[in-house]
């Protein structure tokens, strides 16, 4: 197998000239940023900055095959081709980061296919197809790969699961001391099957049974027909803080998926044949599905497809109907393969791959690096489509409940649940009846309501609760079966806030590492982590009383040689801002026990942050003072903000506003300053008011000051206003209807006039000074300062 080399980008800039059609790092970075500016990432990050973290090359030729750029602040990554013979964008993600030392198996497999294809095209001097030439031109000019005017259906990510095949997902597979967590791997085939079936929450119970003898391990048997698969108790995500109650049913289900396809287990990696998946789904899990289709490329004449044909087959195979696909691939050297889920595509025909590694490296990728598969790269891939529950009554099941809410009572010992019953079944037909509504608390049934009506708003009181974290689940039953389950969690009991200041040296989140908090009874009541970026402040209400704070290590890197915990650090503060703990070396287990009792600490206040201000033309309506600020990091008991205004050397101080704290991060205030005189220097001061019961304190003041005459003009070259300065007569030259107003610098309107074309205003009655002339016309609004000199 060709070895994939990842090197620092700074060291490879001189290598691009060794081959024809190379793309240097600067061009690749520019194109990558331009492409990402057209994605959903731009909606939350207007200033996309990329950092080159790796480049891939082959040791015998040295040319760069592709560049990898991470978005700063851990908001995604993009992989750009190193040669314009291939597609410009090879993969991208708008979340997470790319770690060259920790690439998931499926993603590494796909990237190697791209790399082999690019190298083959170089070696054989194969020119880019016209489609690829056009893509480079479009992405360079517009950031888009799509043809102008062409519209395509877009299927967003369908599967919400981020499952894996190591511990604890493998905890019911055969034991093996060399395996992860003391068990063999569950296998990528089983994980991919399981994630597709979790999308459906089906079957509630399988059919039949199967026994086989995997080499090196004991006989394996699954009685599918006697097993209840509790999908409502299978979380979409597990982490290092998950308990056996969290993962038991997932592990059982993935073990049964493996048995259904005669999984060949190993402590180093388990495998099965994807061709066996359709029969397993039909025979044991009560699904209908297509046969597994394989793209053999040139390995089997007449059995290959172009990338365009293959992409359309994936859409027709279920994606356009909102159905996730089971997908598999084999590298060209037959050294390995992988099974995963394809569950969406974007307007550029980039498909979303869920690799089955806890969400790591999930990304949008094209089918191949080139718009052809004539050269047998990215071959031996296959998919099973139209995976649908076989039972017709499945679609007559009720839809989920809506508007579910769980509110704690004033005595901190009970909750009120509310929800709206569904009106439709999964086919979109009107429901005629509901048999019952079931409520679970922490996995146990606490109520089964048999008087439920279709579409009714319902409530349920659950009282007498001990302090703790409670997860409530509601599902509806009719003659056809149960609906999908809706979940809500609530922390019950008197609480005090604890503040977590998290940091990651790598700037890409904690990668699975987390702080868990347990109550006096030993129940986990919170998980604190950082999924992306370098810094995060979490202000969290936690139960009063003795709490244990526990460190849980993050993901292991390749071959489980090390993790990234050395990049993680944190400080924990009480609700008043007193430091409780600062991390140094981190080891799994309890690192702090703390009596969380907010009444013992004095009420402490903290000032606002990032106070800014200016005198401006506001919202196209009037001039005035605009100030903005951010809340402090510590918000426990924060009640409202005070805004003072003063002029000169802090004279004539006036309280102009009290603005309530409503949980937002940023606040603003506009003051029209009509009562101020021109050319005055004005100060604004903002502080925070904290209230706890009858106690109250105010933070120190934060100040900002500016001249009220310091404004920007909005002029238009099509309108002339002269002379300026003027002794009283002011000429205005323009076209069409103009509405003209003259104001002083306090915003007081002194004159209004209507004009058709050119006009002259008589300002001779005005005192000497600066005035604002505002002209509204067909193309917009113009504002100009005019100096009157008598």
Domain 609-707: what homologous superfamily?
Answer: Immunoglobulins (2.60.40.10)
Contact 751, 775 (CB under 8 A): no
User: How far apart (Å, rounded) are the C-alpha atoms in residues 424 and 9?
Assistant: 55
Nearest to 697 by CA among 646, 653, 650, 632: 632
Q: Which CATH number is 157-321+340-358+379-390's, of 3.90.70.50, 3.40.50.720, 3.90.1150.10, 3.40.50.300? A: 3.90.70.50
Range of weakest confidence among 22-36, 421-435, 547-561, 719-733:
547-561
Tens of pLDDT along 9-57? Answer: 332 332 332 333 789 998 999 999 888 887 765 555 667 889 898 888 8
pLDDT at 194 over 90: yes
Domain 392-492: what homologous superfamily?
Answer: Immunoglobulins (2.60.40.10)
pLDDT band at 331 (very low <50, low <70, confident <90, very high): low
Tens of pLDDT along 236-277? Answer: 888 666 778 889 999 999 999 999 999 999 999 999 999 999
> Residue 148: what pLDDT?
46
For residue 565, what are its two tokens? 């915990």
Q: What is the residue extent of each domain of the chain? A: 5-151, 157-321+340-358+379-390, 392-492, 498-596, 609-707, 720-788
498-596 against 609-707: fold identical: yes
Contact 681, 645 (CB under 8 A): no
User: How far apart (Å, rounded) are the C-alpha atoms in residues 543 and 528?
Assistant: 15
> Residue 501: what pLDDT?
94
User: How far apart (Å, rounded) are the C-alpha atoms in residues 588 and 551?
Assistant: 5
Tens of pLDDT along 438-494? Answer: 999 987 889 999 999 999 999 999 999 999 889 898 999 998 888 888 889 899 999
pLDDT mean across residues, the chain? 84
Contact 231, 198 (CB under 8 A): yes
| Phi and psi angles of residue 180, each rounded to the nearest 5 degrees, phi first | -70, 120
Widest Cα–Cα separation across the chain: 105
Strand (E) or helix (H) holding 199:
helix 188-200
Q: Is 30 left (phi over 0), alpha (psi -120 to 50) or beta?
A: alpha
User: For a pLDDT cut of 70, what percent of the chain falls above it?
Assistant: 86
> Residue 689: what pLDDT?
96
Tens of pLDDT along 106-165? Answer: 788 778 878 888 888 888 888 887 878 888 988 888 888 775 433 344 788 999 899 999
CATH top class, domain 498-596: mainly beta
For residue 534, what are its two tokens? 């370098």
> Residue 770: what pLDDT?
80
Angle, helix 244-260 to helix 188-200, in steps of 10 degrees:
110
Does the domain formed by 720-788 have CATH 2.60.40.3080? yes
Tens of pLDDT along 602-647? Answer: 788 899 999 999 887 766 566 788 999 999 877 778 899 999 998 7
* DSSP line for 683-734: EEEEEEEEEETTEEEEPPPEEEEEETT----B--TTSEEE-SSBSSEEEEE-
Range of weakest confidence among 76-85, 127-136, 167-176, 330-339:
330-339
pTM for the full predicted model: 0.57
- Does 338 or 607 have the greater pLDDT score? 607
Q: Whose structure tokens read 């990050």?
A: 45
> Residue 373: what pLDDT?
43
> Residue 294: what pLDDT?
87
pLDDT at 543 over 80: yes
User: How far apart (Å, rounded) are the C-alpha atoms in residues 648 and 183?
Assistant: 75
């Amino acid at each position: 197998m060709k070895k994939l080399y990842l090197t620092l980008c700074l060291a490879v800039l001189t290598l691009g000239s060794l081959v024809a059609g190379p793309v240097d790092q600067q061009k690749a970075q520019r194109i990558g940023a331009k492409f990402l500016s057209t994605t959903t990432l731009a909606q939350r990050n207007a200033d996309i900055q990329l950092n080159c973290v790796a480049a891939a090359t082959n040791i015998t030729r040295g040319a760069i095959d592709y560049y990898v750029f991470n978005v700063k602040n851990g908001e995604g990554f993009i992989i750009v081709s190193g040669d314009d013979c291939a597609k410009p964008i090879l993969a991208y993600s708008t979340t997470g980061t790319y770690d060259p030392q920790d690439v998931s198996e499926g993603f590494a497999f796909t990237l190697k296919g791209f790399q082999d294809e690019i190298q083959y095209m170089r070696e054989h001097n194969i020119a880019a197809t016209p489609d690829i030439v056009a893509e480079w031109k479009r992405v360079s000019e517009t950031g888009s790969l799509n043809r102008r005017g062409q519209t395509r259906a877009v299927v967003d990510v369908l599967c919400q699961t981020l499952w894996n095949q190591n511990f604890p997902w493998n905890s019911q597979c055969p034991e093996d001391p060399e395996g992860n967590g003391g068990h063999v791997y569950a296998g990528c085939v089983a994980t991919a099957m399981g994630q597709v079936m979790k999308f459906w929450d089906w079957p509630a119970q399988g059919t039949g049974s199967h026994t086989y003898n995997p080499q090196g391990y004991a006989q394996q048997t699954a009685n599918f027909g006697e097993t209840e698969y509790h999908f409502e108790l299978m979380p979409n995500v597990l982490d290092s803080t998950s308990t056996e109650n969290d993962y038991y049913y997932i592990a059982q289900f993935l073990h049964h998926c493996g048995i259904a396809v005669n999984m060949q287990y190993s402590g180093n990696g388990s495998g099965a044949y994807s061709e066996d998946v359709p029969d397993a789904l039909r025979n044991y899990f009560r699904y209908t599905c297509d046969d597994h289709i394989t793209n053999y490329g040139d390995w089997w004449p007449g059995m290959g497809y172009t990338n365009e044909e293959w992409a359309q087959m994936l859409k027709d195979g279920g994606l356009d109907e909102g159905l996730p696909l089971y997908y598999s691939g084999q590298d060209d050297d037959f050294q390995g393969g992988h099974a995963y889920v394809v569950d969406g595509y974007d307007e550029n025909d980039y498909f979303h791959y869920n690799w089955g590694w806890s969400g790591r490296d999930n990304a949008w990728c094209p089918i191949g690096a080139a718009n052809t598969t004539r050269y047998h790269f990215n071959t031996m891939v296959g998919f099973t489509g139209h995976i649908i529950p076989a039972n017709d009554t499945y679609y007559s099941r009720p839809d989920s409940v809506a508007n579910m809410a769980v509110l704690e009572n004033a005595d901190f010992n009970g909750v009120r649940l509310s929800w709206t019953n569904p009106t439709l079944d999964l086919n979109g037909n009107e429901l005629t009846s509901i048999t019952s509504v079931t409520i679970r608390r922490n996995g146990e049934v606490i109520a089964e309501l048999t008087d439920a009506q279709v579409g009714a708003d319902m409530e349920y009181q659950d009282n007498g609760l001990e302090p703790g974290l409670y997860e409530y689940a509601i599902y509806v039953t009719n003659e056809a079966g149960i609906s999908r389950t809706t979940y809500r969690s609530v922390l019950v009991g008197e609480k005090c806030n604890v503040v977590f200041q998290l940091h990651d040296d790598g700037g890409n989140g904690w990668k699975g590492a987390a702080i868990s908090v347990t109550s006096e009874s030993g129940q986990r009541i919170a998980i604190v982590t950082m999924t992306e970026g370098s810094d995060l402040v979490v202000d969290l209400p936690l139960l009063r009383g003795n709490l244990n704070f526990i460190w849980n290590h993050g993901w292991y890197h390749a071959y489980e040689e090390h993790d990234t915990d050395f990049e993680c650090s944190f400080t924990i503060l009480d609700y008043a801002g007193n430091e409780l703990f600062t991390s140094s070396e981190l080891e799994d287990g309890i690192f702090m026990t703390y009596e969380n009792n907010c009444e013992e600490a004095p009420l402490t206040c903290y000032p606002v942050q990032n106070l800014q201000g200016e005198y401006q033309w506001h919202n196209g309506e009037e001039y005035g003072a605009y100030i903005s600020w951010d809340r402090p990091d510590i918000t426990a008991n924060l009640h409202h903000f005070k805004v003072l205004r003063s002029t000169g050397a802090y004279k004539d101080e006036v309280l102009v506003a009290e603005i309530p704290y409503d949980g937002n991060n940023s606040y603003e205030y506009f003051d029209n300053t009509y009562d101020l005189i021109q050319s005055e220097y004005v100060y604004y001061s903002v502080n925070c008011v904290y209230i706890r019961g009858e106690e109250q304190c105010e933070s120190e003041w934060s100040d900002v000051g500016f001249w009220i005459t310091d404004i920007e003009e909005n002029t238009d070259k099509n309108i002339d206003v002269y002379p300026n300065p003027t002794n009283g007569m002011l000429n205005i030259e323009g076209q069409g209807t103009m509405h003209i107003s003259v104001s002083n610098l306090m915003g007081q309107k002194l004159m209004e006039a209507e004009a058709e074309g050119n006009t002259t205003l008589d300002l001779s009655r005005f005192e000497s000074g600066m005035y604002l002339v505002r002209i509204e016309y067909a193309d917009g609004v113009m504002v100009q300062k005019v100096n009157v000199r008598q």
